[in-house]
Amino acid sequence: MADVLIAADPPMEKITDKDPPAPPEAEETKPSDEKKSKDELTIEQSVSFKEESNKVSDLQDPEKKALDELKQLIQQALKNHEFTAPPPKEDEKSHVPPPAPEEPAPPAEETPKLESEEKPAEADAPVEAVVAEVVEETVVVAVTTVDDDGAKTVEAIEESVVAVVSVTTPAMESDAPEAVAEEVPPEEVFIWGIPLLGDEKSDVVLLKFLRARDFKAKDAFAMIKNTVQWRKEFGIEGLLDEDLGNDLEKVVFMYGIGKEGHPVCYNVYGEFQNKELYMKTFSDEEKRQKFLRWRIQFLEKGIQQLNFTPGGISTMLQITDLKNSPGPGKRELRIATNQALSLLQDNYPEFVAKQVFINVPWWYLAFNRMISPFLTQRTKSKFIFAGPSKSTETLFKYIAPEQVPVQYGGLSKDNDSDFSTTDVVTEVTIKPATKHTVELPASEGCVLVWELRVLGWDVSYCAEFVPSTEDSYAVIIDKTRKVIATDEPIVKNSFKIGEPGKIVLTIDNNSSKKKKLIYRSKTKKEIL
């Protein structure tokens, strides 16, 4: 959708549509507490958005009609080879028989009988029509001169007939190749590896363009033609194999999937606080074009992960982290953003399910209001804005905690030998000034591993093992300690179980704010 740099992913999907809620405006001037409430309102309003179905059977009648009309337009265009550069057209006049010689073969006194030879054929008239006219006039002349010398008249007619045949025969033969050329089969055109027609995935692709143009078939058709042409000019096929370096791998990356199965793409523009990276990426037009090619290459590779079958996942969840992001005053960044926004919006319609902006500063909301008039309602409806205090909570609305990277408040981390994204996380809200306990059953002869975190921390935590037998003593695993926001984001530990019992985790929320607790555990066999 669209923000350009940001657009590269999310903003780029400005390729979508709806209106950024009023909350953004309020965040500029309202106190921090009011800003938070505005953020919450924005999130609640956006949650109601539901992605449309890509199944033709689920479309409304006007939408089905528009899809059928678009297919007819494409079918005709494929038949006429309109998607490829047509070869230069031959002048139709080249197929017309050469004009009659200036000096006719018959004697001078016989020329009146061949008046048709003196009358040039019209350039637009078919060759067959010209021949027919010549023959007809010749016969008429023969009839009108019947009272004259019969022998002479008959001789003149024979000569004229022979002359006509000798002129028209080569012209008629030259038409044969033209008839064969008309039988050339329709061309085949693919976008993202999918043919425009003839495949079950084709409808899904066409619906993207239709939705981007409010189901106006002719507008969608024009957009498709432009996209096909642009992909050829930009060299998309060769772009996928280009080596554009890995300098930006921390700026844009794919990580995990959303709750509805969408691949998640993170855009971290705070990385451009690194002046060397910033200048290396945006300092001149050549570098900006390289960045643009890198971003399109990354997007194309991401699209390869999508499922274009009806009912499949054919959109992404875009997360844009604006923490420490360079402001709109950066001229080079603004130029690159405008370039990307235009390109992505025109050629990648409906590839964003949601565009979630986190750690949003006040200036971005002001900037977004400026570019908002240039975005469609569909695009704006997919935008979600969250300030720093609400960013993780907002992410959890769309992505399960086990799929969210540690740096964004989740539990997922690389090279974790104990847990993976398939190990489900439990979420609990702890009310202010209350204590919450978590009990984890444990079997004898195994090792129980657990990890947890409290968003914002500022709570007390402890862990102990409580045996099942009454005459056994509890074992303290983690002494009660205060955990604050600057501590390690995750508390992780393990305990070897020597007898049946349970691990009890206690979180004491002494603050005046509710807290979000996330945790998970796993039993592992003891390695002897």
Cβ atoms of 269 and 325 closer than 8 Å: yes
Cβ atoms of 466 and 514 closer than 8 Å: no
- The pLDDT confidence band at residue 26, using thresholds 50, 70 and 90, is very low
Cβ atoms of 314 and 15 closer than 8 Å: no
Is 231 inside any structural domain? no
CATH number at 277 reads 3.40.525.10
3 state DSSP class of 286: helix
Q: Which of 26-30, 409-413, 480-484 has the lowest mean pLDDT?
A: 26-30
Are 430 and 371 contained in the same domain? no
Is 47 inside any structural domain? yes
| Inter-CA distances, 387 with 5, 187, 321, 395, Å | 19, 51, 10, 12
Q: Over the stretch 438-486, which tens digit does the pLDDT of each residue have? A: 999 998 989 999 999 999 999 999 999 999 988 889 999 999 999 998 8
Give the pLDDT score at 108.
45
Cβ atoms of 338 and 3 closer than 8 Å: no
CATH number at 447 reads 2.60.120.680
Are 129 and 168 contained in the same domain? yes
Number of structural domains (the chain) is: 3
Give the pLDDT score at 29.
36
Give the pLDDT score at 521.
97
Give the pLDDT score at 374.
73
| Beta strand spans in 189-309 (E) | 190-191, 194-195, 252-257, 263-268
Strand partners, 441: 502
Q: What is the mean pLDDT of residues 240-246?
A: 91
Give the pLDDT score at 86.
52
Are 268 and 365 contained in the same domain? yes
Cβ atoms of 430 and 454 closer than 8 Å: yes
Question: Which tops the pLDDT comparison, 143 or 54?
Answer: 54
Are 396 and 426 contained in the same domain? no
Is 199 inside any structural domain? no
Q: What is the mean pLDDT of residues 136-158?
A: 45
pLDDT at 10 over 70: no
Is 239 inside any structural domain? no
Q: Shortest CA distance to 123 belongs to which of 163, 164, 90, 92?
A: 92
pLDDT at 318 over 70: yes
Are 341 and 439 contained in the same domain? no
- The pLDDT confidence band at residue 379, using thresholds 50, 70 and 90, is confident
pLDDT at 381 over 50: yes
Q: Which of 63-77, 153-167, 384-398 has the lowest mean pLDDT?
A: 153-167
Are 426 and 394 contained in the same domain? no
Range(s) of the domain holding residue 494: 419-525
Are 256 and 365 contained in the same domain? yes
Give the pLDDT score at 49.
55
Is 351 inside any structural domain? yes
Are 397 and 427 contained in the same domain? no
Is 410 inside any structural domain? no
Are 356 and 253 contained in the same domain? yes
Is 189 inside any structural domain? no
Is 408 inside any structural domain? no
**Could you write out the DSSP letters of every residue in 24-45?**
HHHHHHS-HHHHHHHHHHHHHH
Are 442 and 476 contained in the same domain? yes
Of the residues 139, 162, 181, the one at which a domain ends: 181
Are 24 and 125 contained in the same domain? no
DSSP state of 453: E
Q: What is the mean pLDDT of residues 150-155?
A: 46
Of the residues 181, 216, 237, the one at which a domain ends: 181
Are 395 and 503 contained in the same domain? no
Give the pLDDT score at 331.
84
Q: Which of 3-12, 89-98, 290-299, 342-351 has the lowest mean pLDDT?
A: 3-12
Of the residues 152, 181, 210, the one at which a domain ends: 181
Q: Over the stretch 332-373, which tens digit does the pLDDT of each residue have? A: 888 888 888 889 889 999 999 999 999 999 878 777 788 788
Q: Over the stretch 516-525, which tens digit does the pLDDT of each residue have? A: 999 999 998 8
